[in-house]
Chains A and B, each alone.
Chain A
Amino acid sequence: MSAVTRPGLAPAPMAPAPAPATAAGPVTQVRVVRAEWTKLRALRSTRWCALTAAVLIVGLGAAIAGSGTAYHVSPGDSAAKGVSVALLGVLFAQLVLGVVGVLAFSGEYGTGMIRATLAVVPSRLPVLWAKLIVLAGLVLPVTLLCAVVDFFMATALESARGGSAISLTDPGVLRTVVGSSLYLTVIVIIGLALGALLRKTAAGLSVFAAVFFVVPIVVGALPHKITGFAPYLPSNAGGALWGNPLTTGHELGPWTGFAVLCGYAVVLTGLAAWRLRRRDA
Chain B
Amino acid sequence: MIEIDGLTKRYGDKTAVDGLSFVVEPGVVTGFLGPNGAGKSTTMRMIAGLDRPTSGTVRVNGKHYPKAPAPMAELGILLDARSVHPGLSARSNLLALARTAGIGRRRVDEVIELAGLGEVAGTRAGGFSLGMGQRLGVAAALLGRPQTVVLDEPVNGLDPDGVRWIRLLLKSLAAEGRTVLVSSHLMSEMAQTATQLVVLGRGKLITEASVEDFTGHATGTGVLVRTPETVRLGQLLAAPGITVINDGTDLVRVSGTTAEQIGTAAWRAHLPVYELTPTHASLEEAFMQVTQDSIEYHAGATR
Contacts and interface: CB of A to CB of B under 8 A. Distances in A.
A42 B85 CA distance: 11
B239 interface: no
B145 A23 contact: yes
B156 interface: no
Interface stretch (B62-70, B228-236, B263-271): B62-70
A20 B147 contact: yes
A60 B243 CA distance: 89
A116 B84 contact: yes
Interface string A1-30: 101111111111111111111111111100
Contact of B178 (A8, A20, A26): A20
Contact of A5 (B97, B114, B175): B114
Contacts of A111: 82, 84-87
Contacts of A275: none
A222 interface: no
Contacts of B97: 35, 116-117, 120
A171 interface: no
Interface stretch (B49-57, B205-213, B219-227, B252-260): B49-57
A39 interface: yes
A244 B137 CA distance: 47
A10 B142 CA distance: 18
Contacts of B165: 7
Contact of B27 (A16, A27, A36, A44): A16
User: What is the size category of the interface that chain B forms with chain A?
Assistant: 35 or more
B253 to A, nearest CB: 36
B147 to A, nearest CB: 6
Given A24-B103, A31-B100, A12 B172 contact: yes
Nearest to A35: B99
B46 to A, nearest CB: 9
B102 interface: yes
B2 interface: no
Contacts, number: 193
A27 B67 CA distance: 11
B52 A107 contact: no
A122 interface: yes
Contact of A9 (B72, B116, B168, B173): B168
Contacts of A251: none
B280 interface: no
A18 B82 contact: no
Nearest to A118: B50
Interface string B75-114: 1010110111111110011011111111100010010011
Interface of A: 1, 3-28, 31-32, 34-36, 38-39, 42-45, 107-108, 111-113, 115-124, 278, 280-281
Given A4-B173, A11-B174, A16-B26, 4 more contacts: A5-B110, A6-B114, A115-B79, A116-B140
20 contacts: A4-B114, A4-B142, A4-B169, A4-B176, A12-B175, A13-B175, A16-B27, A23-B145, A24-B146, A26-B69, A27-B69, A27-B71, A38-B99, A39-B85, A112-B83, A113-B85, A118-B50, A119-B71, A120-B97, A120-B101
